[in-house]
Amino acid sequence: MILPRRSPRRRRAAAATIALYVNAALLLGILAVMLGRDGAPNVSILPSARAADAPQVAGGGNIYVVPGQFSMSTFGIYLLDTDSQTLCAYKFDGAATNLRLIAARNYRHDRRLSHFNTSPDPREIEQMVDLERNSPRRAAGRGATGNDAAGHGHGADDAGKKVGDTDE
């Protein structure tokens, strides 16, 4: 008995089918590797939203502890007591077996300062804002009256003043 020979067209179709099955098997293998990496027990194909790495604050009642980095190789914690309004800083030694107090401060009166150690001084900012508000360039855009929205006029004596100039 002689078996009929397959036509070349059928042989090419069978080879293409086998190649498609091999391709599908390889893709399934790649998917399994991607889903199983990093030892993640809960595998998800969807991307997950993650918060930025921020220091973890621990606290309860009125005392809070925040980790801190004081230099490239020095780490420690900040302790904030809101009842006594005190901030303390502790650092770990190199072996992290010893915790040492490096600073403590009561900030009760600090909060009452309006502008300590700031630059420029808030009064200078106020003068710059007033000068800009009263500048001739802004007055030219308002028409012939020279009055702004508050009804303030701009005379020639205001033109050309610099920050810090006074009418002496």
Q: What is the pLDDT of residues 1-47, one digit of tens each?
A: 666 666 777 777 888 889 899 999 999 888 877 777 665 555 565 66
Residue 123's pLDDT is: 86
pLDDT range class, residue 160, cuts 50, 70, 90: very low
pLDDT tens digit string along 48-106? 556 556 667 777 788 999 988 888 888 899 999 989 999 999 998 776 678 889 999 99
pLDDT range class, residue 142, cuts 50, 70, 90: low
Indicate whether 152 pLDDT > 70.
Answer: no
Where do the domains of the chain lie?
58-112
Residue 156's pLDDT is: 41
102 contact partners, CB below 8 Å, separation of at least 6: 70, 76, 89, 90, 91
CA distance 142 to 148: 7
Average pLDDT over residues 134-140: 71
Residue 155's pLDDT is: 44
The closest of 138, 127, 128, 126 to 154, measured between CA atoms, is: 138
